[in-house]
Structure 1
Amino acid sequence: MKKALFVNMCGQGHVNPTIGLVKELIVRGDQVTYIAGEEFRNKIEKTGAKFIGYKNSFDVQNLFNGNLNSENNDPLLKVIGTFKNIVETLFNLNETFDYIVYDSAFMLGNEVGRVFKIPAICSITTFAANKRTNCLSEQIKKFGPNIQKLLNSFEYMNFVKNLKQEYGITCPSIVTAVSAKGMINIVYTSKYFQLCGESFDESYKFVGPSIAARKEDVSFTLENNEKKKVIYISLGTIFNGSIEFYENCFKAFDNMDVKIVMSVGKNIDIKAFKSIPSNFIVRNYVSQLKILKHADVFITHGGMNSTNEGLYYDVPLILIPQFVDQPAVANRVAELGAGIVIEKDKVTQEILKQSVINILSNNDFKINSKKIGKSLREAGGYKKAVDEILNLTSLYEEVAYDNEK
Structure 2
Amino acid sequence: MAHIAFFILPAAGHVNPTLSVARELVARGHRVTYALSENYRERVLATGAEFLPYALDQDRFWDTMVPKQDAAEYTDQQEFVNMMTWMLDMTRQTLGDFERHFGDGADRPDVFVCDPSSFWSGHILAAKWGVPVIRSTPTYVANEHWSLHPPVDTAEEQAEDPVTGALFEVVAELLAEHRVEKSIGDFAAEVHSGPALVYLPRAFQYAGDTFGEEVGFVGPCTSANSFHGEWEPPGTGRRLVLISLGTLYNKQPDFFRACVEAFRDTDWDVVITHAGGVAEGELGDVPPHIRVYDFAPQGAVLAHASVMINHGGTSTVLQAVSEGVPVIAVPQMAELHATATRAEQLGVGAKILRKDVTPERLRETTLALAGSAEVRAAVARLRGEIEAAGGPAAAADAVEALLAPAAATAA
Same fold (TM over 0.5): yes
Quick one: structure 1 residues 100 and 362, their matched pair in 2 at CA, closer, same or farther if it must change by over 3 Å? same
- The residue number in structure 1 matching 2:332 is 322
* Residues 297 and 119 of structure 1, relative CA distance in 2, 3 Å threshold: same
Q: String of CA shifts for 1:64-111, please: whole Å, max 9, x gaps.
A: 215977599555422322232343332221331111111121374555
**1:402 maps to which residue?**
none
Whole-Å Cα distance in 2 between the matches of residues 32 and 103 of structure 1? 16
2:402 counterpart SS class: helix
Amino acid at match of 1:223: P
Q: Counterparts in 2 of 1:187-202, with a 5 A limit?
A: 187-202=198-213
Secondary structure of the 1:227 match is coil
State the AA in 1 paired with 2:267. D
Aligned-pair CA distance for 1:243: 0.5
Q: Which residue of 2 aligns with 1:356?
A: 366
> Given the alignment of the two structures, is residue 333 of structure 1 paired with residue 343 of structure 2, yes or no?
yes
Partner amino acid, structure 2, of 1:90: F
CA contact (8 A) 1:229 1:296 kept: yes
- Structure 2 CA distance for partners of 1:3 and 1:160, relative to 1, 3 Å: same
Partner of 1:21: 21
Distance 1:397 1:225, change over 3 A: closer
Query: SS where residue 403 of structure 2 aligns?
Result: helix
Aligned length: 391
SS of the equivalent of 1:6 reads: strand
Query: Is 1:43 aligned to 2:43, yes or no?
Result: yes
Question: Which stretch shows the higher mean deviation, 361-370 or 197-206?
Answer: 361-370
8 Å CA contact 1:70–1:146 kept in 2: the answer is no
Q: What does 1:130-141 correspond to in 2, within 5 Å?
A: 130-137=143-150
Query: Is the 2:228–2:295 Cα contact (8 Å) retained in structure 1?
Result: no
State the partner residue of 1:207.
218
CA apart distance, 1:127: 1.2
Cα shift at 1:166: 1.7
- The 8 Å contact of residues 38 and 53 in structure 1, kept in 2 or not, is answered as yes
- The residue matched to 1:186 in structure 2 has which SS? strand
Normalised by the length of structure 2, the TM-score is 0.87
Q: What is the DSSP-based 3-state SS (H/G/I as helix, E as strand, rest coil) of the residue aligned with 2:375?
A: helix
SS for the counterpart of 2:203 is coil
Counterpart CA distance in 2 for 1:345 and 1:20 is 37
- The verdict on how the C-alpha distance between 1:397 and 1:41 changes in structure 2, with shifts beyond 3 A counting, is closer
**Are 1:369 and 2:372 counterparts?**
no
The residue identity in structure 2 corresponding to 1:161 is A
Q: Which residue of 1 aligns with 2:99?
A: 91
Q: Which runs of 5+ in 1 are unaligned?
A: 399-405
Secondary structure of the equivalent of 1:192? Answer: helix
Q: Which amino acid aligns with 1:389?
A: V
* Identity across the alignment (%): 24
Letter in 2 for 1:80: L
Distance in 1 of aligned mates of 2:188 and 2:346: 28
Any conservation in 2 of the 1:297–1:317 contact (CA below 8 Å)?
Answer: yes
Alignment partners' CA distance in 1, 2:276 and 2:392: 28
How much is the aligned-residue C-alpha RMSD, in angstroms? Answer: 2.9
- Indicate conservation of the 8 Å contact 1:61/1:238, yes or no: no
**Correspondence 1:30-109 to 2 at 5 A:** 30-57=30-57, 59-63=61-65, 64-66=67-69, 74=82, 76-93=84-101, 94=103, 95-106=107-118, 108=120, 109=122
Map of 1:403 onto structure 2 = none
Separation (CA, whole Å) in 2 of partners of 1:62 and 1:393: 35
Distance 1:273 1:90, change over 3 A: same
By relative contact order (CA 8 Å, sep 6+), the higher-ranking structure is 2
Structure 1 position 194, deviation (Å): 1.4
Distance 1:242 1:26 in 2: 39
What pairs with 1:122-133 in structure 2 (closer than 5 Å)? 122-133=135-146
The 1-side partners of 2:189 and 2:249 are apart by 25
State the secondary structure of the residue aligned to 2:174.
helix
Select 1:231's aligned residue among 237, 241, 245. 241
For residue 180 of structure 1, what is the amino acid of its counterpart?
Answer: H
* Partner AA of 1:97 in structure 2: P
Secondary structure of the structure 2 residue equivalent to 1:56: coil
Q: 1:212 to 1:323 in 2, by over 3 A?
A: same
1:163 is the counterpart of 2:174: yes
Relative to 1, partners in 2 of residues 1:352 and 1:40: Cα closer, same or farther, differing over 3 Å? same
Does residue 114 of structure 1 match 2:127? yes
Distance 1:246 1:173, change over 3 A: farther
Which has the larger displacement, 323-332 or 11-20?
Answer: 323-332
Cα–Cα, structure 1 residues 72 and 379, in superposed 2: closer, same or farther, change >3 Å? closer
